[in-house]
Amino acid sequence: PMGSERMEMRKRQMSTSQETPGAAQAQHSTGNRGSNACCFCWCCCCSCSCLTVRNQDEERARRTSHELQAEGIPNCEESPAPTLEEVNAWAQSFDKLMLTPAGRNAFREFLRTEFSEENMLFWMACEELKQESNKSVIEEKARLIYEDYISILSPKEVSLDSRVREVINRNMLEPSQHTFDDAQLQIYTLMHRDSYPRFMNSAIYKDLLRSLSEKSIEA
């Protein structure tokens, strides 16, 4: 189960370590303007004409991050404090955990400790996309979701199989509220099978349960 998370971390490390070699080769190629020489992007396995392409990719990644910050993505969803009954219900099924903002917040806090918070962020972004009806807004949000969670250039890339990626690439030709449905289901299943059992045994869940139990007894 830990393999998928380790693979994601390894991808991020490889992407970071490979930035410098690619840039160095690109700078070397720009010195020979009379030839067709170009650099080789290890991160995306394709040729690019010059360093400008890489700079554009980096600028787009920075712009996406700034846009998301400007939208004011909160550290957690607004929700009342969970009751003891609700927290006990989280142990009954993953669906019940994900049904309430308080449950998602607690689970998201746990995912952050495992460096896999992007799974919850992606799932939430897909849920938000489904609520949109304006075509231009849908296209913009779909683009941001793709750049933030699907692109191999993103540090928040989620782990998806090749079949789902192909579906997304086709869907992006004409984005809709359901462009990422297959991917969202795959990530939901991953969180359910991989992270949820560990969350139920985590200090975050046990401490919350104990605290609410003590308050219930005192009352």
Give the pLDDT of residue 79. 78
Give the pLDDT of residue 4. 52
Around Cβ 70, how many Cβ atoms within 10 Å? 8
Mean pLDDT, range 150-176, rounded to an integer: 97
Give the pLDDT of residue 7. 53
pLDDT single digits (tens) 146-159: 999 999 999 999 99
Buried b (16+ CB within 10 A) or exposed e, 110-129: bbeebebbbbbbbbebbeeb
Query: Is the entire prediction scored with pTM above 0.75?
Result: no
pLDDT single digits (tens) 79-119: 789 999 999 999 999 999 999 999 999 999 999 999 999 99
pLDDT single digits (tens) 9-42: 555 555 554 444 444 444 444 444 444 444 334 4
Give the pLDDT of residue 216. 85
State whether residue 141 is helix, strand or coil.
Answer: helix
CA 138 – CA 129 distance, rounded (Å) = 7
Would you say domain 84-216 falls under CATH 3.90.1150.10?
A: no
Task: Give, for 130, the enclosing helix (H) or strand (E).
Answer: helix 117-130
